Structure 1
Amino acid sequence: MGAANDITAPPPISSALEGWAVMSAKVGSLSPMDDLPSLLMPYQIEAIQLSDQHQLFVSEKSRRTGLTYAFGADAVLTAAPAQGGQDFFYIAYNKDMTREFIGYCADFLQAFDQLATEPKEFLHNDGSDEGINAFRIDLPSGHKIVALSSKPRSLRGMQGKVLIDEAAFHDQFSDLLDAAMALTMWGGRVVVISTHNGADNAYNELIEDIRSGKREGVVQRVTLKDALRQGLYQRICLRTREPWSPEAEAKWEASLRKRYGTAAEQELDVVPSRGSGIYLARATIEQAMSHELPVIRLACPDGFERHGEEYRTSWIKEFLETEVAPYLADFDPNRPTYFGQDFARNGDVSPVVFGQRDESMRRVARFLLEMRNVPFKDQEMILNWIISRVPMFACGKMDARGNGSALAEAMQQEWGFDRVEAVQTSEKTYLAFMPKLRSAIEDQMLLIPWDEGVMDDLRMIKLVRGIPMIPDRGKVSKADGDSGKRHGDDAIALMHFVAASDEDIGPIEFFSAGQRSTHLASGPVSTRGFGSAGARAGFVR
């Protein structure tokens, strides 16, 4: 992601916000009060800051959360400085929106005590015969704020910061974005904000491309709930001079949702319509699967944890040397190794995926180990045993929710906090990591074992309120050698494996005792033991 250019970026937003509590009285037509909140809410300030830190910033938002208003302030902060300032261009899909934005800018100029020309409508020369109607404010700095119509040619020859508002409703959004991105070559910034307009819209495709890593940029998500938690309704009460209370806020939200009806999910909860349901099709997953890659299953007998440590260690070690060690020889000794894990102690599977990238940069899950009913300490012993034997261990990501935090911390202490990340899985991590997993599977840049349990777990990923995640449910697996319930655990382990393989961390300088290397660069190959009945059945005494 592009970093802010020190020469062209405006000054830090924090310095410009110092006097905003007083200025909000002017802009909001309120009497000054000692306890008056800052003019912008946290998510509005965050949006401005992120837009200065990244050359492409996208905000998917609920209706009427005030981001356009906030960027009116940003437009003034961007264009006002004589040194380090730049022009600001606002693009909307209709004239009323451009006129409204210019009005916001005029209000902020007055609040900031900045001199400028009165907003004026003019005919912008875009190289065509007819030109484009636009609004403009000229500042003493020599920079300008211009509000243009939604035509890609309107940015011809321009330089500065561009805001595309309600992008999902622009007829030529893709072409407009391409034109805007040309401004980033010389230090410009591109801001895209919008509510959703369907899952198949070019705006939603842009968001998915950024989240999957296909495109450089950063995405902010602001639902109505997010805005309310950060004071949206309290701000509305300040403007309307109505008393605020939690009860009044709840009643207001309920009424708003009732007015939106079935459109509330898209308009208020930031869930693109037709965007719920299956996240990965079965046929797509099958294309990423190989019969040559193993799933190794270990199920400890009931009461295993009651045995002494010496017995348990001997039992586990025999399993590792018999069922796991043969596959360690199939790792490429000259390539870094990564792992992803999802923790469970009882009931669910506790899987860990170890793999590498091949010559084509495709991720290959060399093996997937599923553990059931394995005591905490023995899971730690298993991970240490494997990591100490794989070649060039570089990075791993582990589930650190609940009891998993103890195992993740132990591995961090053993192998380094910079190499092992303890992941607190949440909606944010799902949004950050799941699109990368889907992209790797759809683009056939991830090779995984051909296994019914793995298939079941990946098929459990659903879009819930626009977020790809595992719903809270379990099912009986059809996987060979595994009769327990599944909860999408392999999907989480694979998600963490893909994310770990994207980390730029050099490998530890030691090599495994493996004697040979098998590459899977151009499709399935025959390798000793891959997919064997013994590997699938696991090790159960």
Structure 2
Amino acid sequence: MSAAVPDSPIIKFLPYQKAWITDASRFKIGMFTRRGGKTFGSCGEIVDDCTRAEIEQRKIRWTILSRSEATAKEALEDALKPMTRAYYAVLKGLSNRGQPQFVEDEFRVPAYQREVEQGGETFRVDVPAASYKTHEVHFPGGSRVVALSASPDSARGFGGNLLLDEFAFHKDSRAIWGSALPVAARGNHKIRVISTPNGKGNKFYELMTTAENGWSKHHVDIYEAVKQGLDVNIDELRRGMADQDKWAQEFELAWLDEASAWLDYDLISACEHTEAGDPGGYKGGMCFVGVDIAARNDLFVIVVSELVGEVLMVREIIAKKRISFAEQDRLLDDVMRRYRVVRVAMDQTGMGEKPVEDAKARHGSERVQGVLFSTASKLDMATGLKESMQDRKTRIPAGDPLLRADLHSIKSQVGVTGIRRLVADGDSDGHADRFWALALAVTAADLGPESFGYQGVPGTRSRWADPDQDDDEDKGGSGRWGDGGAW
């Protein structure tokens, strides 16, 4: 914003920032380059909206949810508060200069004075300036802006319009979105989402890339920003970054999957199948089951996979939260009844000891295998799952965002001792429980059916055998587990 007033503060918005400010869509989302002033432009819209509400004697509220307490404070101190003070200074200078106008090179706001009638005469009355607190800006007419660190609870408790700042970097972005959207919908409020990309494992990616979802979308990379007047040296920035992937993501706005993700989204998508996830598609074949035990807030997950040829087709995923161990036993028993289960691999770590022991008592120790989770065993299971997916030997349900988030949430890290370990990034509704249940199902299949140790007696023949063939010379069938088994 640039006011043609001598000695008044000047707030200069670039064309793409003006385009953002003047876009009155109820839902809009912007992917902007680093150093492009996305928070500055968004605060410009908020201050302008509050100012107009004050002039029209309305009350509005804006909430800014930032990735952390520090960034929330930075948005207020570096953008919102100085801009509000500048607006008031400009308004004072424009108090008698007519109606608001938006022209090519400057953005003028109306005079912040009100006309009141008293005794048949009209008077202009100055309105006092806004007041400032640590995390809030209060306008004299009752409008206010609050900046908070993002969390599902803060998203649920906000009032009025909402700005999600650097949304791709919010922890639990899906949970935050699930809390925020109903609040905004009830009050017909506006929602603004801005960020640079941060891989594909977050809600920002889904909102920005979903076609025809009713959102007004803005996209400004470093080249477009410089073209429109951003004063930065691109070559200098690139040299300073010294990381091509980071440069591509943060300045060229490329959707890069994090290098640390154990299963990237391209691999996950390649293993999705429209027939997977439907219990009604079960063909009566051998099934292998993975069970991730849960307590308190974790998910209890059962994954049932059927062997179809050489491919493990996921037939059913059962995910329940906060259920009793008795209910978990009942769900497993129901799976054992409905499917031809060859082997079950269950998480035996910690509280899993008793459920595994009970499952073995009910279904046989040959069919139920307990797995103790350790750094080494988790890496083995995750490697088996990854290789199975890379070979397209595992097929998963298509279009399940919770499953995709869980599978993508496992990250690979190398510690100071050089030992690789796997951790969940927390942006899913569990602790990657679906990932581990699927990995356990693949582990169960890799173990093969249980052999009963049958050995033919030399010199005996089946009634269907050739005259010169003994049963003990029969090597069995062929295939993945053709040399004998439980079925």
Answer 1 or 2: which has greater strand percent. Answer: 2
Q: TM-score, normalised by structure 2?
A: 0.37
